[in-house]
Chain A
Amino acid sequence: MSDLGMFFGLLGAAVAVLFAGAGSALGVGIAGRAAAGVVTEDPSKFAQVLLLQLLPGTQGIYGLLVGFITLSKIGLLGGGDVTVSLSTGLMILAACLPIGIVGLISGKSQGQCSAASIGIVAKRPESFGQAMLFPAMVETYAILALLISILAVSNIPV
């Protein structure tokens, strides 16, 4: 049964990377379509819209981050001899849920927001600074989720 703890720990890492990454993929995809449209009209805006497209990409990185901390916690990286009990495994899974789920949802909505901001840049390139802020507002909640996931994972005793 000791493997089961390990399994749930791993499932936690998977949830973090999987959902947050999927959210970012959706978001970057949505923003990317808008960005491509702008660049067909005005190639000189490439750098600006590329930055805006990248903004929803951070959720995936946060997921990776939590996944990495989790993997090293359960001893899959750097191979310390750690046994993970079932309850610990489940706790780790729970700790990974915030960044996974919030990452998925916020990644997608941040992508939609970025697409709208790309629209601002298309019409008023001088408002780039403001346009960048709207997607950043969405990201706040991914950061909060990341924070709780990190604090939880690193404080679970193994």
Chain B
Amino acid sequence: MAVVEMQKISLAALKTKRKAILEKLQMLGIMQMEVDSIDDEELMKMDTAESRATWDKHAELCDQAAAILDKYAPEKKGMLDSLKGKELLTMENAQEVIERRHPCNKIARKILRYEKEISDCNANIAKDENLIESLVPWMALDVPLSFEGTKKTAAFIGTLPGVLTEEQILTGLREKAPELAAVDVKVLYTASDSVNVFILCLKEEAETVETALRGLGFSRPPQLTLGKPERVAEEARKDIEEQKTKIAGVIERVKVNAGSREDFHILGDYYRTRAEKYRLLGQIPQSQNAFFLTGWVPKDAAGAVKNLMEKDYGAVCEFEEKKEDEVEPTALRNNKFSSVYEPIVASYGLPQHGKVDPTTIMSFFYMFFFGMMLSDAGYGIVMVIGTAIVLKKYPRMGEGIKKMLTMFFWCGISTTFWGFMYGGFFGDVIDVVATTFLGYTGPTPILKPIWFNPLDAPMKLLVYCMLFGLIHLFVGLGIKGYQYLKEGDVVGFVSDIIAWYALLIGLILILLPTDLFGNIAQMHFEFPAAVNMLAKVLAAGGAIVILLMSGRSNKNWGLRIALGAYDIYGITSWLSDVLSYSRLLALGLATGVIAQVINTMAAMVAKNLGIVGIVIFIIIFIVGSILNLAINLLGAYVHTNRLQYVEFFGKFYDAGGEPFVPFETKTKYVEIK
């Protein structure tokens, strides 16, 4: 319901108690430290960077070792196992692991070494594979690539550009060097734009041949291997096999240590916690024998913290007034139903102190609008049952995901409600099944809507959507009025809030009986003359107050009136805000109609196919419904957020609060009871 009140608290204690106090506060996780607020040149800060880095490094070592274990010896994990939450440990269990951290670290280092061996082997394999690849064109050669000739002959091994035959190369050579006596050309391999050749000539003619070959664009292979290409490739292949066996062996050795995974998780968290403590320790001011802490504590816990610190640790504890330029951090506290919507508010921005926390009021509208957009009883029931099962089965899942699922649980209830209001249950699946498979010929729909089917009277629903929107916006404006009153700004309340209510209500009352509205909405209003008169008075009065008072901070009357006139122009933004709620209708229709499309398609395919038809129908129905639910769930979520953020918050809410970040145990894997 509100922003939690914060108390600034200062504490001084003996250094001997430092460790105990910090550990206690970290465990409680209740105080946000303000380390820069004490400024005194006689106090020093401790340099803890080095020890902190050591703890961080150890934490990383454990995390890496655990990650390697996960890679080679993965734990069996179900799809929803990530919801299980952190593992719960007793203090003794954790202590027992921490006791034997040194041997554990040794194992971690060993695992890291194994990983290095594996990656070395993999590098060798890659090298071998490259070698084999590069030797493919030379396979026909039965001498090594480095072969240069015999006692009497000279050999040239290399590539020539262009796709040439042996005759063409010979002709080319003879053209360049007509005097050549004997030369033998062998094409070993023809690639797409070059040929690999083996050329043999007499030793005394080697230079002539070489010059001629250069003229043809001859080049030698980039790497010369000793030994016949075929044998070299064979050896590389053998080496790959060997490396693979070696990797398998090393992986086996890694797997042997799979039992240490738990220990790595616990130790990783232990080291992280230590690092966090040293981070703070390096920031707190200290004198010879004492140290000082300042920070924020929720007001209702402040007394208890003070007592604890004074009694158990002999510290001196004081409550302080907040200074002018200080901003207390924001934490929200709401009842059980509304608190699940806090992340939605936080994602827009937290409220500042002294302002209204919109969570509670927003939560009801959120649920209402979400249901209207998804509006299908079948999907709603699926959501409710699905989230309820997951919430029940994994009670210790992370805080954020738990809030989100609980929110979808409530939104599912609203969706079910609106589904029955509109008469939508998986679209029109009841009618389709009854007419296609059960030979039903009676009147449809079988499931009658409690209210009405939006497809039958879209205009009517559109008017209702705008009415709901108007209520939403008026509530927003009302909250702004409440803030004015809370700050004692009665003038502001009258001229910025009451005047707008008067103007808008007046305009609506003028609009309702007109033919224009009657034609659009197909609803006709007849008001007595007094009401019509009242409407005009309200509208005119509101407009005049806005015109005169809106720019009241300006001394210059001309400017003041101009600002007022500009503000009246803001009526267009009200119009667009209200129209924006038409998405309630559009998205509501979308879910229902697409569900009908799916059902119709399924029925068309399955008709007259007997049992097979029923199976086909069920398959198409399930797949289609899942897709439709997924896409419309996303749409409803996004657009409900938008209505809250843009239309509702736009009327009154300035975010800008700093989140409350207490000094606490930051763990990744385990939680200690």
Residues in A neighbouring B593, C-beta threshold 8 A: 65, 68-69
Interface string of A136-158 (1 = CB under 8 A from B): 11011001101100110010000
B458 and A154 contacting across the interface, CB-CB below 8 Å? yes
Interface residue B641 (Cβ < 8 Å from any Cβ of A): yes
B585 and A133 contacting across the interface, CB-CB below 8 Å? no
B586 and A146 contacting across the interface, CB-CB below 8 Å? yes
Q: Nearest 4 pairs between A and B by C-beta?
A: A129-B347, A136-B638, A143-B586, A143-B583
Q: List 8 A-B contacts (CB under 8 A).
A: A55-B638, A69-B593, A129-B344, A129-B347, A129-B348, A130-B348, A139-B639, A147-B462
* A-B CB contacts (within 8 Å), total count: 76
A129 and B635 contacting across the interface, CB-CB below 8 Å? no
Interface residue A64 (Cβ < 8 Å from any Cβ of B): yes
A150 and B348 contacting across the interface, CB-CB below 8 Å? no
**Minimum C-beta distance from A35 to chain B (A):** 15
Residues in B neighbouring A109, C-beta threshold 8 A: none
Interface residue B531 (Cβ < 8 Å from any Cβ of A): no
Residues in A neighbouring B343, C-beta threshold 8 A: 129
Asked, given contacts A54-B631, A57-B631, A150-B458, whether A65 binds B344 with beta carbons under 8 Å apart, the answer is no
Interface residue A132 (Cβ < 8 Å from any Cβ of B): yes
Interface residue A19 (Cβ < 8 Å from any Cβ of B): no
Interfacial residues, chain A to chain B (CB-CB below 8 A): 51, 54-55, 57-58, 61-62, 64-65, 68-69, 77-78, 127-130, 132-133, 136-137, 139-140, 143-144, 146-147, 150-151, 154
**Minimum C-beta distance from A51 to chain B (A):** 6
Interface residue B455 (Cβ < 8 Å from any Cβ of A): yes
A61 and B631 contacting across the interface, CB-CB below 8 Å? yes
In the bound complex, what is the Cα–Cα distance between A151 and B522 (angstroms)? 13
Closest chain B residue to A127, Cβ basis:
B347
Interface string of B41-60 (1 = CB under 8 A from A): 00000000000000000000
A64 and B582 contacting across the interface, CB-CB below 8 Å? no
A77 and B600 contacting across the interface, CB-CB below 8 Å? yes
Residues in B neighbouring A127, C-beta threshold 8 A: 347
B596 and A68 contacting across the interface, CB-CB below 8 Å? yes
Closest chain B residue to A77, Cβ basis:
B600
Which residues between 580 and 594 of chain B lie within 8 Å of chain A, taking CB atoms? 580, 582-583, 585-587, 589-590, 593-594
Asked, given contacts A62-B590, A147-B582, whether A136 binds B639 with beta carbons under 8 Å apart, the answer is yes
A144 and B347 contacting across the interface, CB-CB below 8 Å? no
Interfacial residues, chain B to chain A (CB-CB below 8 A): 343-344, 347-348, 455, 458-459, 462, 579-580, 582-583, 585-587, 589-590, 593-594, 596-597, 600, 631, 634-635, 638-639, 641-642, 645-646
In the bound complex, what is the Cα–Cα distance between A68 and B631 (angstroms)? 18
Picked from B455, B582, B638, B639, the residue with its CB within 8 Å of the CB of A154 is B455
Picked from A65, A133, A140, A151, the residue with its CB within 8 Å of the CB of B645 is A133
Residues in B neighbouring A130, C-beta threshold 8 A: 347-348
Residues in A neighbouring B579, C-beta threshold 8 A: 144
Residues in A neighbouring B459, C-beta threshold 8 A: 151
Closest chain A residue to B627, Cβ basis:
A61
Residues in A neighbouring B646, C-beta threshold 8 A: 133, 137
**Minimum C-beta distance from A48 to chain B (A):** 12
In the bound complex, what is the Cα–Cα distance between A154 and B453 (angstroms)? 13
**Minimum C-beta distance from A150 to chain B (A):** 6
**Minimum C-beta distance from A144 to chain B (A):** 7
Residues in B neighbouring A129, C-beta threshold 8 A: 343-344, 347-348, 641
Closest chain B residue to A129, Cβ basis:
B347
In the bound complex, what is the Cα–Cα distance between A55 and B586 (angstroms)? 16
Residues in A neighbouring B587, C-beta threshold 8 A: 143
Closest chain B residue to A130, Cβ basis:
B347
Residues in A neighbouring B596, C-beta threshold 8 A: 68
In the bound complex, what is the Cα–Cα distance between A127 and B514 (angstroms)? 46
B634 and A54 contacting across the interface, CB-CB below 8 Å? yes
Picked from B458, B583, B634, B642, the residue with its CB within 8 Å of the CB of A133 is B642
B631 and A133 contacting across the interface, CB-CB below 8 Å? no
Known A-B contacts: A64-B594, A154-B455. Give 19 more (CB < 8 A): A58-B590, A61-B631, A62-B586, A62-B590, A64-B597, A65-B594, A68-B597, A128-B347, A129-B348, A129-B641, A130-B348, A133-B645, A143-B582, A144-B579, A144-B582, A146-B590, A147-B462, A151-B458, A151-B459
B586 and A147 contacting across the interface, CB-CB below 8 Å? yes
In the bound complex, what is the Cα–Cα distance between A154 and B589 (angstroms)? 12
Q: Which among B343, B462, B641 has the greatest number of chain A C-beta atoms within 10 A?
A: B641
**Minimum C-beta distance from A153 to chain B (A):** 10
Residues in B neighbouring A136, C-beta threshold 8 A: 638-639, 641-642
Residues in A neighbouring B347, C-beta threshold 8 A: 127-130
Residues in A neighbouring B597, C-beta threshold 8 A: 64-65, 68
B344 and A150 contacting across the interface, CB-CB below 8 Å? no
Residues in B neighbouring A65, C-beta threshold 8 A: 589-590, 593-594, 597
Residues in A neighbouring B582, C-beta threshold 8 A: 143-144, 147
**Minimum C-beta distance from A131 to chain B (A):** 10
**Minimum C-beta distance from A76 to chain B (A):** 12
In the bound complex, what is the Cα–Cα distance between A57 and B635 (angstroms)? 10
Closest chain A residue to B454, Cβ basis:
A150
B638 and A132 contacting across the interface, CB-CB below 8 Å? yes
Residues in B neighbouring A57, C-beta threshold 8 A: 631
In the bound complex, what is the Cα–Cα distance between A130 and B458 (angstroms)? 32
Picked from A62, A77, A147, the residue with its CB within 8 Å of the CB of B585 is A147
In the bound complex, what is the Cα–Cα distance between A57 and B634 (angstroms)? 11
Closest chain A residue to B347, Cβ basis:
A129
Closest chain A residue to B638, Cβ basis:
A136
**Minimum C-beta distance from A23 to chain B (A):** 16
In the bound complex, what is the Cα–Cα distance between A133 and B348 (angstroms)? 10
**Minimum C-beta distance from B584 to chain A (A):** 10
Closest chain B residue to A54, Cβ basis:
B634
**Minimum C-beta distance from B230 to chain A (A):** 39
Q: Which among B347, B459, B579 has the greatest number of chain A C-beta atoms within 10 A?
A: B347
In the bound complex, what is the Cα–Cα distance between A129 and B343 (angstroms)? 9
In the bound complex, what is the Cα–Cα distance between A147 and B631 (angstroms)? 18
In the bound complex, what is the Cα–Cα distance between A128 and B586 (angstroms)? 25
Q: Which among A55, A62, A139, A143 has the greatest number of chain B C-beta atoms within 10 A?
A: A143
A150 and B642 contacting across the interface, CB-CB below 8 Å? no
B590 and A61 contacting across the interface, CB-CB below 8 Å? yes
